[in-house]
Every structure is written in C-alpha cells, then in structure tokens.
Amino acid sequence: MTDDSTAAGPTARTHPPKTAIVTGASTGIGEATARELSRRGWIVYAVARRADRLEDLSKETGAIAVPCDITSEADVSTLRDRVLHEQGTIDALLNISGGARGADWVANAKDADWDWMYQVNVLGTMRMTRAFVPALRENGEGTVLNLTSIAAQRGYEGGGGYNAAKFAEHGFTEALRLEEAEHNVRVVEIAPGLVHTPEFSLMRMGGDVEAAQKVYAGVERPLTSEDVAEVCAFAVDLPHHVNLDLVTVKPVAQAAPHKVLRKQ
C-alpha cells in the first residue's frame, strides 16, 4: 500500500510553507532557483533589478517580485523591512546574484570591470546576508546559500577579476559558517562549473555574441540553469541538521576547470 503523501515527492508539504529570498532571479540560475523552490511549495521572494522580468516570473510561478539592487544599502534595507513585515521571518536566503565582466589578463585589467564584480559578487552578497542574519538566527533553523563558482577554487588566464571576486566570496562564506554555527544558521556554498545560461558569457564578453558562443562550442552537455537550481533547492530543502558545506557541480565534460572536452 502506497502512502500518497510521500509518493508525491518534493512538491508535497504537510507543514506551513517555508519562505526564501532568491537574488538574481530575473535570469539564469537565480530565475531557475526561484521557479524550483516555488514548485516545491516555498514562498519565494524573487529579487533582481529588472522589474519587468520579475513580473513575468511572478505571473508564471506565484513568486513575489521585488525589484532591488543588492549593491544599494537603501534597496536592501527596504527589501528586509518589507519581507519581515509580511512574513515575520525567513527560512532561507539564497545569494545567487553575481557575474563576470571581461576576460582580460591582469596586466590589462580594467578598474571598472573589477569594481563591478566585487560590488555584485562580494559586497552585494555581504549586504544581503548582513540584513537578514538576525532574522535567520531568530528563526532557529535558518539557511544562507551562496552561489560561488569553480573560479573560487582555481585561478585561470583571463579570470583574474572573477577569480578575485569569487575567492573572496568563498572566504566570506567559510567565515560566516564558523560565526553562525552557534546560532544554528546553516551555511551552504554551491560552486558550479560550466553552465550554459542566456547571459553570463554574453555579459562577460561585452555583448559579443560570437565570443560568448565559443565558451560552449563543442561541449555536448554543459550544465543548465535548471541543473544548478535543482542542487540549490535540494540543499535548502534537506532536514536542517544536514549541511552541504560545499558542493562543486560540473558537467561530466569538464573534468577540471582547465580541461573541457569539446567535440569537433
């Protein structure tokens, strides 16, 4: 005899829905993660700068669209006040927002590119975390998930600025885990490898479509946004005492950051 309550899988919930904030929700992994958590029955606050895309996501999934620039302290404070007023608490903060600009070697580094990467990947993640840690502590079983990259594990030519930002985010995440363990706040790091998303490489290559396409050329099955989103959702949906401290996710074709199998 089958118990229908368990047969339905991860979408079945018999307890009140949990609340998550997902940044970077207007595109790529952030959008896919907001969709996946909504599918699993979470109340999702979808956060990004592009209001039109968030509204489309909201109509499709029921996620709550909240336009917010995570590099703005005022925007983050307004977001915090709204969410806590409406929900009282949150269960998970998923810092997905991030990105790369430029592929210059360090000798040709552009200040503006490096500054943007540090602002978004590091300081934006810090501001969001700082704003919501008190609520996560009060919750008693809160989770912070930071999306970094295999660029946080090994440097490579042309990656200096992105390496620097993601190494910093990785170090910040390790420190946060140590600091918040006594408050029972679970801290997770997901580090993807090659993911074929609509905008990541296009932004990195300054809008050069041909250069962006070469990043994935010949790779039979790179990761998709949905692949990584499933890992993120799984990590925060696990029983709270189970912590996936660091998960590195690569396509099979990417044996190492510097070794990617490409078919002619």
Active site residues: 162
Residues 6+ apart with CB under 8 A from 107: none
Residues 6+ apart with CB under 8 A from 171: none
Answer for the pair 48, 28: CB distance below 8 angstroms, yes or no. Answer: no
CA distance 26 to 67: 9
Residue whose C-alpha is closest to residue 137's, from 68, 183, 178, 191: 183
- Any bridge partners for residue 187, and if so which? 144
Structure tokens at 252: 């099979």
**Kind plus residue range of the DSSP H or E element containing 125:** helix 124-139
CA distance 91 to 86: 14
95 by DSSP, 3-state: which?
strand
Q: Which amino acid is at 69?
A: D
**Kind plus residue range of the DSSP H or E element containing 146:** strand 143-147
Q: How far is residue 177 from each of residues 111, 133, 171, 173, measured CA to CA in Å?
A: 31, 12, 10, 6
CA distance 28 to 34: 10
